[in-house]
Amino acid sequence: MILKNILITGGAGFIGSHLVGRLLGEGGWHVTVIDDFNDFYDPGLKRCNLRPYLESDGFRLVEADIRDRAALNRLFEESAFDVIVHLAARAGVRPSLIEPLLYSETNITGTLNLLELARQREIRQFVFGSSSSVYGENEKVPFNEDDPIFKPISPYAATKVAGELLCHTYSHLYGIRCVCLRFFTVYGARQRPDLAIHKFARLISDGKPIPIFGDGTTRRDYTYIDDLIAGLRAAIGYTGSSYEIINLGESRTVELREVVSLLESELGVNAVINRQPLQPGDVPQTYADIGKARRLLGYNPQTDIVEGVRHFVEWFKDNDSTEMK
């Protein structure tokens, strides 16, 4: 089997570490992860994500920041990559309102650094992790890739729009195939502790109030990690066109209060609700049209929210330790 060299930025994170496991499990891949292990959340959790793979043949971990061009240059001089999967980013809508410059430097400049190295090194496959947040307060549902995205409502969303546009520019000018994947509220084992399902599970388990912004009727298209990884894996091998934007969601919207109810049921504990005002930058709903993903990637999500929350809680109970808090 021909060994394929792939770079996964942000590969120690929730989505990235699952992709690492998928590729190493397939065999035939040489996987390099670059991650800066920043303090957005406990870097020890990210190190735990990669622990099963550290001794694997064909795996390499590089600790560096995608804003550091010198470090990136050294990495690309040492290795010849066939594919870049760019998942590294400062994530989260609300934190981006506090540190917009940091989000711009990481998510825009960091993406440009990688695209420029792809151009210089003639790397022809670039997969970019975008976000459903680019749709903003889109009243048309479900969200389609052709919908206008000119009114993002958070710095985070704006940086993801910028990343997609940079990908288009480099695809058009330099022949780099760029596949931009808009992720819709991904959850599952190893989910970031700041995200709703993980955060709520911990607070409910500890008997602490969970913050509900608004009346609990905000809706999200919750996408189980295994389904997301199947779509991401297909995008790595996509060759149908030079540039695409593709939604990866579950194609069903779920109210926040339903998610809380499912968590209560699986944990066997009633939640204490702390109602708070709606937050600036939050959108009322997300809802993915996944027809394009079905056509181009053979994408076919299998896990609905009931089963997905059950799987998450099973993982949560097995990993609920002092180390994870």
Which residues share a beta bridge with 285?
219
pLDDT at 2: 55
- List pLDDT tens digits, range 108-134: 999 999 999 999 999 999 999 999 999
Does 156 qualify as catalytic in the annotation? yes
Kindly tell me if the per-residue pLDDT of 322 is higher than 70: no
H helices of 240-299, in order, are 256-267, 291-297
Q: How confident is the model at residue 205 (pLDDT cuts 50, 70, 90)?
A: very high
Q: Do the Cβ atoms of 82 and 123 come closer than 8 Å?
A: yes
Kindly tell me if the per-residue pLDDT of 324 is higher than 50: no
- List pLDDT tens digits, range 233-244: 999 999 999 999
Question: If you average pLDDT over every residue of the chain, what do you get?
Answer: 93
- List pLDDT tens digits, range 79-95: 999 999 999 999 989 89
CA-wise closest residue to 19 among 2, 7, 4, 37 = 7
Kindly tell me if the per-residue pLDDT of 283 is higher than 60: yes
Kindly tell me if the per-residue pLDDT of 319 is higher than 90: no
Kindly tell me if the per-residue pLDDT of 325 is higher than 50: no
Structural domains of the chain ordered from first start: 4-324 (3.40.50.720)
In this prediction, residues 312-323 reach a mean pLDDT of: 79
β-strand pairing of 4-9 with 29-35: parallel
Q: Which two three-digit tokens encode residue 159?
A: 């940086």
Apex 173 CA angle, 172 and 178, nearest 5: 45
Q: At 191, is the secondary structure helix, strand, or coil?
A: coil
In this prediction, residues 62-75 reach a mean pLDDT of: 97
- List pLDDT tens digits, range 208-232: 999 888 888 889 999 999 999 999 9
Find the catalytic residue in 135, 156, 187, 222.
Answer: 156
